[in-house]
Amino acid sequence: MINFLLRRLFLLGTVLFGLSLLAFSLGYLFPGDPLQNFSGIRQLEPQLRAELTAAYRLDHSYLSQYLAFLNRLWHGDWGLSLASQQPLLSEIRQVLPATIELTSYALLVSFLFGVPLGILAAIKPEGYLGKIINTITVAGYSLPVFWWALLLIMVFSVGLGWFPSGGRLGVLYEIPTVSGFMLVDIFLAETPYQQVILLDALRHLALPTVVLATFPTTVMIRFVRDAMLEVWEQNYIKTAKAKGLSRLQVLYRHGLRNALLPVIRQIGLQFSALITLAMLTEVIFSWPGIGRWLLDSIYQRNFPAIQAGLMIISVLVITVNMLTEILHTFFNPLARKR
Amino acid sequence: MIKYCLSAAMLALGLAGCSAEQQDLRADGLVYCAEGAPEHFNPQRVTSGTTIDIISQQLYDRLLDIDAASGELRPALAKGWQSSADGLVYEFDLRHDVQWHQTDYFQPSRVLNAEDVVFTFNRIMDPEHPFHFIGGGIYPYFQSVDWASLVKQVSAPEPYRVRFELSRPDSSFLSNLATDFAAILSAEYAAQLLAANTPQLLDSQPIGSGPFIFREYQKDVLVRFYEHPHYWRGPAAMQQLVFDIVPNNARRMAKLLTHECDVIAYPRLAELALVSERPDVKVQESTSMNVGFWAFNTQRPPFNQVKVRQALALAINQRAILQAVYFNQATAARSVLPPTSWAFNQQLATPEYNPQAAKALLAEAGLASGFNMTIWAMPVQRLYNPNALKMAELIQADLAQIGVNATIVSYEWNTFRRKLTEGEHDSVLIGWAADNADPDNFFRPLLSCAALESGSNRAQWCDPVFDRILNQALLTDDQLQRRSFYLAAQQYLQTEMPLVALAHSQRIQAINSQIEGVTINPYGGIALFSARRVQP
């Protein structure tokens, strides 16, 4: 196990190294002045320019510049946003929790609905239930997310007025930002309206969560169903059946545990697709997360922000991938040996 | 209420507590969905209508106000005023009960007094002033009316008395004090910032005396104000005011329909008819002092000939333009001055559409076979011209009827204005929105020789006769006498035709029907002081 962890950490290190190298070279590959791309300062007075050139070692070799770049990253100096002239790291700290919040709810939903539906579909794959679930899955799988989101807004927000059309919370509710996670912040806030505000936040969450959860849920259903069917064919299931266990007992004690193992791994693989979908969802629902922030930065040609956003998102995806793989290995003795 | 309970049930979270109190926060707050973000929070340094709408009437007061209905000046921070016989000295008596905003970052120790007024205007005029160059030293409105050369000195002879000494009489002076740009700032707050060595905060963490207090600005997301409990006109009807920044037109409209916005700025004219059928939305129109026009570059042949200009004016179908471009949400213009102005000339002929007469005039000018020209169409949407490109296409078709071959030209907005100032155009579709009620504000910045120098004279027109009329009109305070000068000026413009005035557009807001008391000043920003929620 330790050997495995070490190998994974080494891989993580290599990937991060490559990523930082790419981010560093973007400073030169983006149009414009490298010093401005690195620092994000719009008005570079001659004196400041000289100071920064020295600090960033831009008059030295690329290697030396790269080391200075790593050093800045490590110390939290990620430069300023060209658009707002605010430190990038603090801007990311504001928008990242919103994205993590949305994606984790979507993942949770896909888990809560995907697993039971997948099992249901596997019980009698050729039955009506199985076929209906299958049809819905194929439909959900092929829905373009922007179309689906606009449709839901048209029906449930503009038409029926049940849910707001965008945003994280009604703008009249003032909730101080502590953790950046809305629900947590509402619990921390001292306000007599806590219940009302919480309800409002949940209403804001509803549509984006549904939209974002659609794709992973359908993937999850198909995956669980296939895994269940495969496990069902295994000899140990036949043995269990032969021992006289009831169908439910076989399913719970022997089938589910083994079928769910690959699902853990699936989460990691889904995560990068989820982040991409989250960006679209954020734009459509005016959700103030990192996806919308990154897209705005691209429109504004805010190069330092694009650089930092790419880095953060890639690190996030890689880390989640790595974690789920480690979890998978931890639960699965077979994989540890490989 | 039913809807809230329903959705709560749908979420199946068992949190649904649909009590009466949950309505409170919403009932006492107003959400205005703005089309853009404010640049900063000081009206002195702004010209953008978006910023003015958000900040000036909400956070600040002025010495005088303009009555939205009559366009007359009314006392505001100044209880009264006197001017000397020669029109060179103005004195204002200030109210004694004007409280400054109290916030986390500033605790006022005194009420508003003359020192604050002196500070406010010295910042603009005096290059030695510690705050003059904070933010770049640019005060667009005051520079456009040549404030620095007009006002010699601002002083405080008594604690609640301010004296302005002018270098020449100027009857538009009082109107300038009533514009949204002439907001009064706190000298005490400025001194505190200076002592803390953070003078730049004056324009980003505002302190005013207006009906609302600044609370927070989340960049490009929202601006939050709370009511000012000690406002001298009494507290505002709403406890909270939020400006939700929604640049997308369609999304703004959607948010109005879902009741996430109570008021939206600049709804798309094409959707108005559809929306006004809904019971929960009302469309509010208000006259705005603006004019959309087609200006000829009078320094270029053949537009240097009066006959050619008159012919082109006759050739265009104004009614079709009003319908296709303004969706009839505008009044047909007869002069640059809107008909609601006190100086409007009722005797002016209505513009006629007569291609035959136009052809005849062209023939008289020796251009019977027609000619080629360019029409420059501004690339942005403005109240006075919602779609210049479409307008240009209509005019292009009209001109083809009389044998004039027009090409449409457009550039990115900043480039467009720079090239206009350099006079590279043959003709241009653009417009003007007034900053104050004084008729001078329509003529001088558009058509005077001084405007030619400062670059805002789109017709490149400098006529000494016209300038003399304008100057004479400013030398007297007698409104009847002034009016006669402006009538003459309008008559003169109609014969000379340096530009063709096309339309005076109405300003339109779409509002939730529960909201009342939203007022729009024809000369400036929206005022939400008396906006309140009523049950329909």
> How distant is the Cα of A189 from the closest Cα of chain B, in angstroms?
15
> How distant is the Cα of B423 from the closest Cα of chain A, in angstroms?
31
The answer to whether the Cβ–Cβ distance between A193 and B8 falls below 8 Å is no
**Euclidean distance between CA atoms A86 and B218, whole angstroms:** 12
User: Tokens representing B495?
Assistant: 């014969």
What average pLDDT score do residues A221-243 get?
83
Query: What pLDDT, on a 0 to 100 scale, did the predictor assign at position B100?
Result: 93
Q: What is the three-class DSSP state of A60?
A: coil
Residue B255 in contact with partner chain A when CB distance is under 8 A? yes
Nearest CA in chain A to B254: A158
**Euclidean distance between CA atoms B104 and B122, whole angstroms:** 27
The answer to whether the Cβ–Cβ distance between B25 and A173 falls below 8 Å is yes
Query: What pLDDT, on a 0 to 100 scale, did the predictor assign at position B118?
Result: 93
CB pairs under 8 A between A and B: 79
Element containing residue B533 per DSSP (H, E): strand B532-533
Nearest CA in chain A to B241: A172
**Euclidean distance between CA atoms B423 and B199, whole angstroms:** 40
The answer to whether the Cβ–Cβ distance between A172 and B31 falls below 8 Å is yes
Cβ count near A89 (within 10 Å) = 15
The answer to whether the Cβ–Cβ distance between A193 and B24 falls below 8 Å is yes
E strand spans, chain A? none
Give the one of B31, B219, B254 whose C-beta lies nearest to A171's C-beta: B31
Q: For residues B241, B243, B244 and B245, what is the CA-based torsion angle, rounded to 10 degrees?
A: -170
Residue A174 in contact with partner chain B when CB distance is under 8 A? yes
Residue A171 in contact with partner chain B when CB distance is under 8 A? yes
What average pLDDT score do residues A206-220 get?
90
Query: Which residues touch B411 (CB under 8 Å, ≥6 apart)?
Result: B379, B419
Give the one of A165, A288, A296 whose C-beta lies nearest to B254's C-beta: A165
Cβ atoms of B396 and B405 within 8 Å: the answer is: no
**Euclidean distance between CA atoms B310 and A41, whole angstroms:** 53
The answer to whether the Cβ–Cβ distance between B15 and A166 falls below 8 Å is no
The answer to whether the Cβ–Cβ distance between B17 and A195 falls below 8 Å is yes
Cβ count near A101 (within 10 Å) = 22
Query: What pLDDT, on a 0 to 100 scale, did the predictor assign at position A30?
Result: 81
Cβ atoms of B188 and B205 within 8 Å: the answer is: no
The answer to whether the Cβ–Cβ distance between A193 and B21 falls below 8 Å is yes
For residue B22, the chain A residues in CB contact (below 8 A) are: 193, 195-196, 199
Could you give the C-alpha distances from A276 to A280, A282, A297, B197, in angstroms and in order?
Answer: 7, 10, 16, 45
For residue A199, the chain B residues in CB contact (below 8 A) are: 4, 8, 15-17, 22
Taking Cα atoms as reference points, which of B180, B177, B178, B196 lies closest to residue B188?
B196
Residue B26 in contact with partner chain A when CB distance is under 8 A? yes
Angle, alpha carbons A236-A239-A240 (nearest 5°): 90
The number of angstroms, rounded, from the C-alpha of A277 to the middle of its chain's C-alpha atoms is 9
**Interval B251-273: pLDDT, tens:** 888 888 888 899 988 787 777 87
Cβ atoms of A293 and A99 within 8 Å: the answer is: no
**Rounded (10°) angle between helices A88-123 and A194-232:** 50
**Euclidean distance between CA atoms A81 and B448, whole angstroms:** 43
Nearest CA in chain B to A289: B221
Residue A195 in contact with partner chain B when CB distance is under 8 A? yes
Query: What pLDDT, on a 0 to 100 scale, did the predictor assign at position B266?
Result: 79
Could you give the C-alpha distances from B158 to A305, B87, B94, B113, B164, in angstroms and in order?
Answer: 54, 21, 10, 9, 13
From the first residue on, what is the mean pLDDT of each consecutive set of 10 residues in chain B (536 residues)?
41 39 70 87 82 89 84 87 89 92 92 92 90 82 78 91 89 85 91 90 91 89 92 90 87 88 83 82 82 93 91 92 86 89 86 90 90 89 84 93 91 77 90 82 87 82 91 85 91 92 87 85 80 78
**Interval A79-99: pLDDT, tens:** 888 777 788 888 888 889 999
Residue B450 in contact with partner chain A when CB distance is under 8 A? no
Angle, alpha carbons B195-B200-B201 (nearest 5°): 80
For residue B227, the chain A residues in CB contact (below 8 A) are: none
Query: What pLDDT, on a 0 to 100 scale, did the predictor assign at position B468?
Result: 92
Which of A84, A172, A285 to mutate to test binding with chain B, by most B CBs within 10 Å of its CB? A172
Nearest CA in chain A to B239: A172
Nearest CA in chain A to B25: A172
Query: Which residues touch B2 (CB under 8 Å, ≥6 apart)?
Result: none
Element containing residue B502 per DSSP (H, E): strand B499-512
Cβ count near B42 (within 10 Å) = 25
The answer to whether the Cβ–Cβ distance between A171 and B24 falls below 8 Å is no
**Euclidean distance between CA atoms A275 and A281, whole angstroms:** 10
Q: What is the three-class DSSP state of B522?
A: coil
Residue A158 in contact with partner chain B when CB distance is under 8 A? yes
Give the one of A157, A174, A198 whose C-beta lies nearest to B258's C-beta: A157
The number of angstroms, rounded, from the C-alpha of B447 to the middle of its chain's C-alpha atoms is 19
Regarding an ipTM greater than 0.85, the answer is: no
The answer to whether the Cβ–Cβ distance between A196 and B255 falls below 8 Å is no
> How distant is the Cα of A100 from the closest Cα of chain B, in angstroms?
19
> What's the pTM?
0.77
Nearest CA in chain B to A157: B258
Element containing residue B427 per DSSP (H, E): strand B427-433
Cβ atoms of B141 and B435 within 8 Å: the answer is: yes
Give the one of B3, B224, B242 whose C-beta lies nearest to A162's C-beta: B3
**Euclidean distance between CA atoms B76 and B181, whole angstroms:** 15
Residue A202 in contact with partner chain B when CB distance is under 8 A? yes
User: Tokens representing B5?
Assistant: 């309970």
Residues of A (246-285) whose Cβ lies below 8 Å from B: none
Q: B472 exposed, middle or buried (CB, 10 Å; 0-12, 13-18, 19+)?
A: middle
For residue A163, the chain B residues in CB contact (below 8 A) are: 7
User: Tokens representing B435?
Assistant: 């900053």
**Interval A281-309: pLDDT, tens:** 998 888 888 988 898 888 777 888 888 88
Which of A88, A146, A196 to mutate to test binding with chain B, by most B CBs within 10 Å of its CB? A196
Nearest CA in chain A to B20: A196
CA max distance for chain A: 84
**Interval B402-446: pLDDT, tens:** 999 999 998 777 678 778 888 889 999 998 888 777 888 889 888
Nearest CA in chain B to A161: B258
The answer to whether the Cβ–Cβ distance between B22 and A171 falls below 8 Å is no
The answer to whether the Cβ–Cβ distance between B222 and A173 falls below 8 Å is no
The answer to whether the Cβ–Cβ distance between B10 and A195 falls below 8 Å is no
Which of B18, B24, B246, B260 to mutate to test binding with chain A, by most A CBs within 10 Å of its CB? B260
For residue B220, the chain A residues in CB contact (below 8 A) are: 296
The answer to whether the Cβ–Cβ distance between A161 and B3 falls below 8 Å is yes
- Asked whether residue A319 carries a pLDDT value surpassing 50, the answer given is yes
Cβ atoms of B506 and B285 within 8 Å: the answer is: yes
The answer to whether the Cβ–Cβ distance between A165 and B260 falls below 8 Å is yes
